[in-house]
Amino acid sequence: MGIIKQRRELNKLIRNSKTIFLMAHKDLDLDALGSCIGMCMFLSKRKRKECYIIIDDKTHELGVEKVLIELEGCFKIIKSEDIEKYKNPRISKNLLMILDTNKKELVQSPDILKSFNNKVIIDHHELGRTTIKDCLIINDTEVSSTCEMITELIEYYDVEIEPYYATVLLSGIVLDTNNFTLKTNPETFYTAYYLTSLGASAKKVQYLLKQDISEYTERQKLMTGIETINGKVALTKATPYTIYRREDLAKVADTLLFFNNIEASFVIGKIGKDIIGVSARSLGNYDISKILEKIGGGGGIYNGAARIENSTISKVEQQVISAIKEETE
């Protein structure tokens, strides 16, 4: 159900709260950060609420790093370990908003979930086995991104936001649609138009999405050794000696969809010393969430990811292949 259709339930939670905390998934991308920033603007300008953004990530992808540097001091950004300092003494007056994910294991800090009585999820990914319970769930899998959902809210209530914030929201949409080539419908283009009418800069979006040459070169190594399953699913894996960022795997997965006959892609590589990451994409004929849930990941029909600790790339590769075959044969 769309965010506008559930606005009354959302407004009731906001109205009854004094302090609101925003938390997205680990390894922030521009959709996660953009939706947090957009919601902060809505809460502060329309609802006059005090809000904090929880970020525990120690490193950031390039676009996220640029935004955080350029907006330093503009928002109250805290770590989850310090949250008790900022909470209202009355627990019922605190609200936790979870954006761009609905899975417990993917949020910045799963440990703080139980310290809130009032929680709301705003997300565009498919719900699954590990979806956070006991909260209001605003889930719209038809939209391109969580940034699109937040923009709908901003437009509906006619909230005036600065051009830079509109640009960050637009960058989240561009990222999640791979430059409007995936999961894009007329409403997506209208949302992009609306943000540009608020001053969003397409040139600035491209700046936020610019890539580092050395990182691009490193990603190209993942384009060797590609294998296909059933002639329609592309799979590639990295060597165990290189640690990639989550966004690197995602960009390669996006690229693989541009090859003839490929309808889904899976990329496997190390994203930490003892963590194997899987990033996957689909044109819609394969349900990525159903495949990745078999290995502890999640997502939606069109995209998803998984983090597997204390394993090897070879073992994860076999798990992914097995999961793909279970769903496709």
Provide the residue ranges of all domains of the chain, joining segments of one domain with +: 7-208, 214-328
CATH 3.10.310.30 fits 214-328, yes or no: yes
How high is the pLDDT of residue 213? 78
Distances (CA, A) of 198 to 18, 43, 193, 207, 329: 29, 18, 9, 18, 48
Look up the CATH superfamily of 7-208. Answer: inorganic pyrophosphatase (n-terminal core) (3.90.1640.10)
Check if the beta carbon of residue 264 is closer than 8 Å to that of residue 288.
Answer: yes
Quickly state the pLDDT bin for 256 (edges 50, 70, 90). very high
Check if the beta carbon of residue 32 is closer than 8 Å to that of residue 146.
Answer: yes
0.95 surpassed by pTM = no
Q: Which DSSP string do the residues of 220-279 spell out, in sequence order?
A: HGGGSS-EEETTTEEEEE--TT-B--HHHHHHHHHHHTTSTT--EEEEEEEEETTEEEEE
Q: Which two tokens stand for residue 1?
A: 């159900």
Q: Which two tokens stand for residue 118?
A: 């009032």
How high is the pLDDT of residue 65? 95
Which residue has better confidence, 22 or 210?
Answer: 22
Average pLDDT, the chain: 92
Examine the pLDDT at 49 and tell me if it is beyond 80: yes
- In the numeric block, the tokens 């800069």 are attached to 201
pLDDT in tens, 141-176: 999 999 999 999 999 999 999 999 999 999 999 998
- The DSSP bridge partners found for residue 78 are 54
Residue range 112-129: mean pLDDT, rounded: 92
